[in-house]
Structure 1
């Protein structure tokens, strides 16, 4: 059965969905995106994703094509029309179609931003078996542009990073700067655990301001767990007791190996497992 997608104000089948070849999202990667998880037919952390979308648009001097209330209504309609119980909603906003290719931004008074949403059904999303065994990651040079805090669709290098990891027989890659400091994963925020202390990179333009990250750190502090927001190196990570990543689609995912070095007992540690459990429990309660 064909999915229903949302394209610039219309709900159409995926076969009928079209954007212009002159859309700047297609030509220039001049677009931002968000991915919101759906559990039990409800949206997880919607307000956080909507707020980050607004921030990304503002940083690129791009207007939003819809209001917050309209965006929520569209998300709910997409869940209903596609019968999503567990899955994801992908949203992309582009600067629009100026009518011809040009490096110069079009006049915002004359060009309306484009918006596209589609769903991905993922039954049992919260019961991912990978969480029981943990992930293996490799480190790769971080050669992305500097504004990683803006969630743009410039995803070629992250995609290449995941392919490098796959070729190495691993699950994902962590980006590392020249001084050996970890920035983040290809599509997630990175953490290490020493004793009972959770360590993760501080917010800046160097990393994405993860919505799941914010929720997990809040939950950790409420549980009176020590949290330290600072940079850490790959070598420090290899000596950690545990590691994990967070994202909207993976929630809290344990990491058991970095560049071939086994962490702890080579299996998900108690902190990562507990954070995943609490996060899922709290997220389901707050879902809308």
Structure 2
């Protein structure tokens, strides 16, 4: 099946899609991105992703490329043209094309916009969730504005590669105090030894995960104990359960950390239940 990408105002075949060599995203990582999960051809957690997108653009002083209504049309059209029922749609906005210079172009140039969409095998994803996966830990070495969803992801890419080489699905960054910040592409959670759900607070310059926020609403609705409190690697290894959240992983149980089994080494009841509840909520609210 042919794939299509949206590039700066028009849809083109995926294999022919290209950006200018002096796009500042390519040369300077001067841009942001967002990823929406797609359920039944609809965008999940749409409002939250748009809110974070506008905030990231504003923090980097990049102009909004179009209205939310217009961008919604583009995203939906990318999903339709690629015949995605369940999957992901990716948006990237850079400051635009200009002669290479570290300072912003003056006068400003139009932002560059790219959208792609791809299908995900939900059955395979559910099988992984039922099995549970592993994480490894790596030193925190990223810049101090991880709250911005920047395309400058080299430390994250290196962490992901380290995880893959060690047979894990994700890497958790650990700060100088020995506390877990977040994953290379996800937020980190545990059910601690007292049965409380714990995840790092967003004041620690971690990404304000949209799946994380939606899951917190699910947790509140279920009346489960939760605290935004950091945890050490040792606390995570001693926890009853661990899991990660993100648009790509949804709610994914973690059964080992650095080769040490979490709990009984199987997906726990809390993470398994929350995954099902989150997916149900995401499907019902998708647009």
Does the 8 Å contact 1:177/1:183 carry over to 2? yes
Q: Aligned ranges for residues 125-164 of structure 1 at < 5 Å? A: 127-164=125-162
Q: Aligned ranges for residues 158-173 of structure 1 at < 5 Å? A: 158-173=156-171
| TM-score under structure 1 length normalisation | 0.96
Question: In 2, distance between residues paired with 1:163 and 1:72?
Answer: 33
Give structure 1 regions of 4+ aligned residues with deviation exceeding 6 angstroms. Answer: none
Q: Aligned ranges for residues 176-255 of structure 1 at < 5 Å? A: 176-194=174-192, 195-204=194-203, 206-255=205-254
Q: 1:15 to 1:259 in 2, by over 3 A?
A: closer
* Count of aligned pairs: 286
Question: In 1, distance between residues paired with 2:259 and 2:251?
Answer: 21
Name the SS of the counterpart of 1:128 in structure 2.
helix
Question: In 1, distance between residues paired with 2:39 and 2:179?
Answer: 34
Does the 8 Å contact 1:87/1:125 carry over to 2? no
Question: In 2, distance between residues paired with 1:253 and 1:14?
Answer: 30
Provide the residue aligned with 1:274 in structure 2.
273
- Give the aligned CA root-mean-square deviation in angstroms: 1.3
Does the 8 Å contact 1:86/1:125 carry over to 2? no
Q: Aligned ranges for residues 5-84 of structure 1 at < 5 Å? A: 5-84=5-84
Q: 1:258 to 1:151 in 2, by over 3 A?
A: same
CA deviations 1:201-234 (Å, max 9, x no partner) are: 0012520000000000111011100110011111
86-95 vs 127-136, which deviates more?
Answer: 127-136
Provide the residue aligned with 1:124 in structure 2.
122
Question: In 2, distance between residues paired with 1:249 and 1:110?
Answer: 34
Provide the residue aligned with 1:113 in structure 2.
111
Q: 1:127 to 1:164 in 2, by over 3 A?
A: closer
CA positional deviation for 1:110: 3.4
5+ residue gaps, structure 1 = none
| TM-score under structure 2 length normalisation | 0.97
Q: 1:110 to 1:157 in 2, by over 3 A?
A: closer
Q: 1:227 to 1:130 in 2, by over 3 A?
A: same
Question: In 1, distance between residues paired with 2:40 and 2:234?
Answer: 40
CA positional deviation for 1:126: 7.9
Question: In 2, distance between residues paired with 1:6 and 1:53?
Answer: 17
5+ residue gaps, structure 2 = none
